[in-house]
Amino acid sequence: MLIRRPPDLLPSEITPEPLARGRRALLKGLGAGAALAGLGLPQISQAGSLGTLRPSPLSSDEKLTPLKSVTGYNNFYEFGTDKEDPARHAPGRLKTQPWTVTVEGEIKRPRTFSIDDLLKLAPLEERIYRMRCVEGWSMVIPWVGFPLAELIRQVEPNGQARFVEFVTLADPQQMPGVRSPLLDWPYVEGLRLDEAQHPLTLLAVGLYGEVLPAQNGAPIRLVVPWKYGFKSAKSIVRIRFVREQPRSTWMKAGPSEYGFYSNVNPAVDHPRWSQATERRIGEFIKRKTLPFNGYADQVAGLYSGMDLRRFF
Buried residues in 298-310 as b, exposed as e (16+ CB within 10 A): ebeeebeeeebee
289 is in an annotated binding site: no
Question: 133: annotated binding-site residue?
Answer: yes
Does 232 appear as a known binding residue?
yes
Beta strands in 46-89 (DSSP E): 54-55
Whole-angstrom Cα distance, residue 312 to residue 296? 15
> Is 234 marked as a binding-site residue?
yes
78 labelled ligand-binding:
yes
233 labelled ligand-binding: yes
**DSSP-assigned letter for residue 60:** -
Q: What φ, ψ does residue 206 adopt, rounded to 5°? A: -165, 175
Contact in structure between 32 and 48 (CB atoms under 8 Å): yes
Residues in the chain, how many?
Answer: 312
Report the relative pairing of strands 125-132 and 54-55 from DSSP bridges: parallel
Residue 216 is assigned to a ligand binding site: yes
Annotated binding site for Mo-molybdopterin: 74, 77-78, 133, 168, 216, 221, 232-234
Binding residue positions: 74, 77-78, 133, 168, 216, 221, 232-234
